[in-house]
Amino acid sequence: MSNLVVDVQPLTKDNFAEFGEVISYENNDFFYINDQHTERYHALVSTEIIGEAKAGISIFRNIKKTELPLEIHMLERHPNGSQAFIPMQGQKFLIVVAPALDDQTPDINHIRAFISDGYQGVNYRAGTWHHPLLTFEAPSDFAVVDRIGTGHNCDVYTFPYSIMVKDH
């Protein structure tokens, strides 16, 4: 049984700022490159890498479709690096995040849920509590930029009760 219900809201730079950055060309400056055939939206976000590591670019293929309402039971975080998810096929996806309650625990009473418009990606700051990738289409491919290195870089918190995420 779910004790808490979280409504999904549109993803904007302002309402996601507490957790990281929205990756989007909308409302950003650009300059022309390649003989003015290309608009370059330069350095939209910065990657955080802590410790002996480097940034890597991977492709995540999500093979399970998400439907709302959705019960969630956990969040994870990566304390030593940011993690960016960029949809490769213009697909909308669900973003579920929470602020930290303390050094080891997310504040599950303040979980937030956002929906990307399919042309927005997100960059979770290092240490941001978030749910693993949730997509409305399957298969669904994402370019992922994150920390590649040794040492522990994934904490998982399992909730004492399930939380319902629903469309408003």
Q: Using the predicted structure, report yes or no on whether residue 1 has a pLDDT greater than 80.
A: no
Going from N- to C-terminal start, the domains of the chain cover 2-167
Query: Position 13: which residue type?
Result: K
In the prediction, which pLDDT does 2 show? 55
| Residue range 125-152: mean pLDDT, rounded | 96
CA atoms of 139 and 60, how far apart (whole Å): 10
pLDDT tens-place string over residues 52-96: 999 999 999 999 999 999 999 999 999 999 999 999 999 999 999
Work out the angle at residue 147's Cα, subtended by the Cα atoms of residues 143 and 148, and round it to the nearest 5 degrees: 100
- Angstrom CA distances, 53 to 78, 119, 125, 130, stand at 13, 29, 16, 22
In the prediction, which pLDDT does 61 show? 96
With beta carbons less than 8 A apart as the criterion, state whether 142 and 87 touch: yes
| Percent of the chain whose predicted confidence (pLDDT) is above 70 | 99
In the prediction, which pLDDT does 74 show? 98
With beta carbons less than 8 A apart as the criterion, state whether 114 and 16 touch: yes
Instruction: Give the phi and the psi of residue 13 in degrees, each rounded to 5.
Output: -60, -40
Whole-number mean pLDDT of the chain?
95
Q: What kind of architecture, by CATH, is found in domain 2-167?
A: Sandwich (2.60)
Q: Using the predicted structure, report yes or no on whether residue 30 has a pLDDT greater than 90.
A: yes
